[in-house]
Structure 1
Amino acid sequence: MIEQPLKNYIKNALDNDMYYTINYSSVNDNIVTVYSESGERPSSYKGVLIKPNYQVLIKSSNFEKAYNVADKIYNLLHQLQDITMTVQLDDRELNFKVYSIEALHLPARLGVDEDKIMSYSINFQTYIKEIKHGRE
């Protein structure tokens, strides 16, 4: 759903030399990746809020940088409310009203991998609704 605008929102707000991707990464160092997750089951009714989850994975060989970026992302997104995010598809745009983004936990240190890259993870639940024909 909104992993693309979430990635862009993070990238535009942070002042650092990280790479930014969605749902995959071919780079292992200095990277922020936003993954979409299933979240809660959608309602059977039209026009109801949906609650997809997103995982933000932060990786850097500079351990302090990894921590600082994770902390900034947590503070940027946790309790973010009442914004509109646009998803750009090949043939159309989808607009979503983001009622709320809530972190499900503090940044979790995943540890150091075999390449000496420190990783942090933050999971977020969103409360969103597609805006159709100018109506929320």
Structure 2
Amino acid sequence: MNQELAELAASGATALVSAMGTDLWNEARRLMSGVIARAHGSRRRELSAALERGSTATRGAVDAAAVDFWTEALFQLLDRNPALAQDVIALATLRTEQRPDVVVQVNSATGSGEVFAVQHGDQHFASGLRSRDREERP
């Protein structure tokens, strides 16, 4: 049962953090506020304040530290009150029901490599040698 709660907590946390800075944020915050409302005392105040702070990640980016924080928080809440599972499931499925086009893109280059990346739209390339290429060739 703990493994299932851990997986549900991770899914809910990922959905919550993924919604930050997007059109889904208001709905995600509403759902998470409902879960937090069933917490007790200082934990409720701490989580409410964290929810209002949101994340420093840019739109469409996922802040790994925020996902870790919310995963642990949700796991603790679910462990104390398994009846919260339905509310967390609603949060976890928010992104798949209303935003099936969420894509994770990872780009990297080493040495003198370059990355040309586009998430939405077209990317056009011009033909011919770039000035840097001419300088590097013998």
Q: TM-score, normalised by structure 2?
A: 0.30
Kindly indicate whether structure 1 or structure 2 has the higher relative contact order, using CA contacts under 8 Å at least 6 residues apart.
Answer: 2
Q: TM-score, normalised by structure 1?
A: 0.30
| Higher strand residue share | 1
The structure that has the greater radius of gyration is 2
| Higher helix residue share | 2
